[in-house]
Amino acid sequence: MQPVRIILWALVALALAAFAILMLRPVNEMPTRQQPLAISSIGGPFTLTGSDGKPFSSTELAGKPYAIFFGFTNCPDVCPLTLGRMVKLRKELQSGDRPFEILFVTVDPERDGPADVGKYAELFNSPVTGLTGSPAQIDQVKKQFGIFSQKVPDSSRGYSVDHTATVLLFDRKGDFSGTISPEEGNKAALAKLKRITA
Amino acid sequence: MKRILLAALLLLASCSKSGTPDLQISGAWARETVPGQTATAAYMTIHNRGTGDDRLISVEVAAPAKAMLHASESSDGVSRMREMGGGLDLPAGAAAQLKPGGTHVMITGLGAPLRARDVMKLRLRFEKSGPSDVDVAVGAGGR
């Protein structure tokens, strides 16, 4: 009787393991896509920490169109490329000194303190607002803006962070207006920026 | 004899071009950094004008910094950066572009900020061509 019982328990364990794998699989696959969000619900009020260490509230953006990008300061390639591009596009718009705000929010709050995001923002010789916050605050803002990020091991720096590299655009009313993706041409990007600055 | 010939032919077909590679490195630049920032990226074009394939196997930079080959890629709007453990293939007659948003030399652990107009020295090690020193011009961040 005993061996039969062992085999039966083994089968139960196997079934449980298979069930667990099936349950976990969609969760693992999900991060490769941005979380679907209703367009009208993207964004909304938030509070983070500015480069001066003081709270930065989204109310400071009232009446200003803005472009928001999520990255991390140890990101030497895609993040400066994207922010540099936004600065360049802002200059090309030729409507006032600062037709829209550029926000840079870290997805690596454990390593990026207020001074880190502030200094990083200075790289671009043009006003860029660097923001950080507690991991819980960053998680909340990521959720609001439909941003994905995930730490991955990297021998040079302990870890790197995979993250959404799309820039999100908001108009003067704070309403979500569109996105600029890395693959998109400057002409299309400029048209979208004109829309939020109109 | 036939069998040896066949084996040789198969070997030739599967093999890379075994002539002499002739590498030309141009346009090397790295993004400047701000105080406290210890990571940056360097870019360049490596043109193999020779008749043999080569491979960039590693990159060295003066301590305490470290250099390694990385690739950025994006899919579904998500950007990822990965170490290129196998190095970078440099087929005969082709030019490999190390550029923003793609393959790049990742520099970490910088002891001091890199300023625009500084020159950073990198040593590239190639499988066949051996080591090659490159002067990398430091350029503005928004480039």
Q: Where are the domains of chain B?
A: 19-139
Please report the pLDDT score of residue A180 as a whole number: 95
Q: Say which of A76, A122, A152 has its CB closest to residue B34.
A: A122
What are the tens digits of pLDDT across the range A161-184?
Answer: 999 999 999 999 999 999 999 888
Please report the pLDDT score of residue A31 as a whole number: 45
Mean pLDDT lowest for which of A33-37, A93-97, B90-94, B107-111? Answer: A33-37
Please report the pLDDT score of residue A164 as a whole number: 94
Pick the CATH number of B19-139 from 2.60.40.1890, 2.40.50.140, 3.20.20.370, 1.20.58.710: 2.60.40.1890
Q: Say which of A32, A77, A123 has its CB closest to residue B104.
A: A77
Percent of chain B at pLDDT > 90 equals 65
What are the tens digits of pLDDT across the range B98-112?
Answer: 999 899 999 999 999
Picking from B78, B84, B99, B104 by the largest number of A CB atoms within 10 A of its own CB, the best residue to mutate is B78
* B80 backbone dihedrals φ, ψ, rounded to 5°: -130, 150
Q: How far apart are CA B100 and CA A39, in angstroms?
A: 30
| Residue that wins the pLDDT comparison between B15 and A150 | A150
- CB contacts, 8 Å: B66 with chain A: 156
> What's the pLDDT band for A29 if we cut at 50, 70, 90?
very low
Claim: this prediction has a pTM higher than 0.90: no
Q: Which SS3 state, helix, strand or coil, does residue B122 take?
A: strand
Token pair recorded at residue A77: 């390639």
Residue B122 forms beta bridges with which residues? B61, B134
Starting at the edge strand found earlier in the chain, the sheet holding A176-180 runs A129-131, A101-106, A66-71, A167-170, A176-180
In terms of CA atoms, which chain A residue is nearest residue B67? Answer: A156
In this prediction, residues A55-62 reach a mean pLDDT of: 96
| Residue that wins the pLDDT comparison between B89 and A19 | B89
Please report the pLDDT score of residue A27 as a whole number: 46
Please report the pLDDT score of residue B16 as a whole number: 62
In this prediction, residues B79-85 reach a mean pLDDT of: 87
> What's the pLDDT band for A37 if we cut at 50, 70, 90?
low
B140: contact with A, CB 8 A cutoff = yes
Please report the pLDDT score of residue A137 as a whole number: 97
What are the tens digits of pLDDT across the range A81-117?
Answer: 999 999 999 999 877 778 999 999 999 999 999 999 9
Map out the domains of chain A as residue ranges.
Answer: 2-30, 39-197
Please report the pLDDT score of residue A28 as a whole number: 44
Q: What is the DSSP letter of B128?
A: T
Q: Which residues does A contribute to its contact with B (CB < 8 Å)?
A: 32-34, 73-78, 80-81, 83-85, 87-88, 115-116, 119-120, 122-126, 148, 152, 154-157, 160, 162-166, 181-183
| Residue that wins the pLDDT comparison between B102 and B3 | B102
Please report the pLDDT score of residue B36 as a whole number: 79
Pick the CATH number of A39-197 from 3.40.50.1370, 2.40.50.100, 3.90.950.20, 3.40.30.10: 3.40.30.10
